[in-house]
Structure 1
Amino acid sequence: MPYLTSVKPGTASTDVRTGFGVPGFAHPLVAPAEWRELTRPGTPLHWVVLNVADGPGVQPDPHCLEAAGRLRNAGVRVLGHVDTAYGLRTFGEVVSDAHRFLDWYQVDGFLLDRCPADRAGLPEVRRTVTTLRVIRDDAHIVLGHGTHPCPGYAEDADQLVTFSGPWSDYRWSQVAEWTADHPPERFCHFVHGVPGPHLEEALRIARWQGAATIYFTDHTGRGGRTDPWEPLPGYWDDIVSRIGTGVSE
């Protein structure tokens, strides 16, 4: 990958730069412009999540297959969205989803969304990650905690999502001290409701807190009724130019 070169947990690269981890756009039929935009040359992408229907769906979707294929042909890492439901889904259900993503869409890894963050959930997540690395060589594994988990999770995944939420919380957020033991490429921040005038401030927070993979959008969840990640941010061109030219560095 041109921006994120680490493929093994705990290994730091010398040329890591801030880039996007896209949590997942709407279906390609609903958001064709969004998916096309991701293949624009020079867009600083670390990876893009494919979420067909709260996971891989029940059968291959030709539109999603085409969108994923275009990204992979452009050298972009595609991750399958697998929901762990904070540990409520069984090991078999999670691994079955992963197998379908591999068989149908040839994904490069997985985002384990709604991942447990407490110490009690660690053994099962560790078991899952170990299995995913067996069924997909060099799988890129991102644990979607959305908050700072206990430090043990960093031993198994390539990246951890240590913040996912609204700008109103992010601007006052604090980083866990243990994250200083790891390079910025290990951490991801997803923030919605970021006003355009505060974009540079949001980028500074990510830099101060040591997160190299980010996704900021001005869209909001509207009280949970809509998914803020599905449309393209209104200031997409602006944030691409800021990150692509190294302004945020």
Structure 2
Amino acid sequence: MPHLTRTAWGTASTDVRIGFGIPGFAHPLVAAAEWSELTRPGTPLKWVVLNVANGPGERPDPHCLEAAGRLRNAGVRVLGHLDMTYGARPFGELVSDAHRYLDWYQVDGFSLDRCPTERAALPEVRRTVATLRALIDDAHIVLGHGTHPYPGYAETGDQLVTFTGPWSDYRWSQVAEWTADYPPERFCHFVHGMPRGHLEEALRIARWQGASTIYFTDRVGDGGTNAPWESMPGYWDEIVSRIGTGVSE
């Protein structure tokens, strides 16, 4: 059995209203069906990451602009992908990419992929996030740690990705005790290589661990940063129907 926990939010943790966060589909020319599917009414979607070329690219892309516009018109947040490379990326480069995303695609916030997790890096991440928030009113900031970071990061981002990895790890994963001090809306889990037959079990783990934003897929990576997420899972319709319509935000 996976590790189960009751949070400070009580038994309500099993009644978490789950919705999707999309880590980043392939380019709209390659994954046209995926981008189109996201605007289907009733899809429980919280946000979608726009990753043009491991960032905003060198010039505006009309296909990405059209895809982002359709999502915004449907009331879906679009987040720009910023790769922090675990703290190695210079501050100026991150801010420059953020400006391009805002100028070219009118994003609603940012997903900071490969975000550092350690306490020592927290001041620089805070500086980056404060600068990003100054660019956009009500910017939505997702810190893509992929694992449980030092607890102080929870006061910096709107949401934290506290699990990114294969189903073989997720099914035995444990949640950090400090997460019980925060509502499920603060946490995201991204799981790849998950067979259809384990869908209900995976949703149960997310609810018990207090994560209300998820993306589960049967796709597996081939070494690329976003490879498992570039296309929809084979059971997309099933997971949409299990989660139901509408989101809690």
Compute the TM-score of the two structures, normalised by the length of structure 1: 0.91
Shift of 1:223: 5.2
Q: Distance in 2 between matches of 1:134 and 1:231?
A: 33
Divergent runs of 4+, >3 A: 222-226
Shift of 1:80: 0.3
Letter in 2 for 1:35: W
SS of the residue corresponding to residue 206 of structure 1 reads: helix
Gaps of 5+ in 2: 1-14
Q: Distance in 2 between matches of 1:164 and 1:240?
A: 20
Aligned to 1:175: 175
Contact 2:24–2:226 (8 Å) recurs in 1: no
Q: Distance in 1 between matches of 2:31 and 2:92?
A: 32
Aligned to 1:207: 207
Aligned to 1:236: 236
Q: Which has the higher contact order (CA 8 A, sep 6+)?
A: 2
Q: Distance in 1 between matches of 2:122 and 2:82?
A: 17
**TM alignment of 1:1-249, pairs within 5 A:** 17-222=17-222, 227-244=227-244
Q: Distance in 2 between matches of 1:143 and 1:34?
A: 24
Q: Distance in 2 between matches of 1:203 and 1:144?
A: 20
Q: Distance in 1 between matches of 2:72 and 2:52?
A: 16
Letter in 2 for 1:123: P
SS of the residue corresponding to residue 218 of structure 1 reads: coil
Identity %: 82
SS of the residue corresponding to residue 160 of structure 1 reads: strand
SS of the residue corresponding to residue 205 of structure 1 reads: helix
Offset from partner CA, 1:171-207 (integer Å, 9 cap, x none): 0000000000000000000000010000000000000
SS of the residue corresponding to residue 66 of structure 1 reads: helix
Offset from partner CA, 1:89-125 (integer Å, 9 cap, x none): 0110111111100000000000000000000110000
Q: Distance in 1 between matches of 2:169 and 2:187?
A: 18
Number of aligned residue pairs: give it.
232
SS of the residue corresponding to residue 80 of structure 2 reads: strand
Contact 2:170–2:191 (8 Å) recurs in 1: yes
Offset from partner CA, 1:52-71 (integer Å, 9 cap, x none): 00000000000000000000
> How big is the alpha-carbon RMSD for the aligned residues of Structure 1 and Structure 2?
1.5
SS of the residue corresponding to residue 228 of structure 2 reads: coil
Q: Distance in 1 between matches of 2:109 and 2:28?
A: 20
Compute the TM-score of the two structures, normalised by the length of structure 2: 0.91
SS of the residue corresponding to residue 149 of structure 1 reads: coil
Q: Distance in 2 between matches of 1:106 and 1:39?
A: 18
- Distance of aligned partners of 1:226 and 1:86 in 2 relative to their CA distance in 1, 3 Å threshold: closer
- Distance of aligned partners of 1:54 and 1:224 in 2 relative to their CA distance in 1, 3 Å threshold: closer
Shift of 1:244: 1.1
Q: Distance in 2 between matches of 1:226 and 1:25?
A: 8
Which shows bigger deviation, 36-45 or 217-226?
A: 217-226
Q: Distance in 1 between matches of 2:226 and 2:50?
A: 18
SS of the residue corresponding to residue 227 of structure 2 reads: coil
Shift of 1:226: 7.2
Shift of 1:222: 3.5
SS of the residue corresponding to residue 58 of structure 1 reads: coil
Which shows bigger deviation, 155-164 or 216-225?
A: 216-225
Aligned to 1:3: none
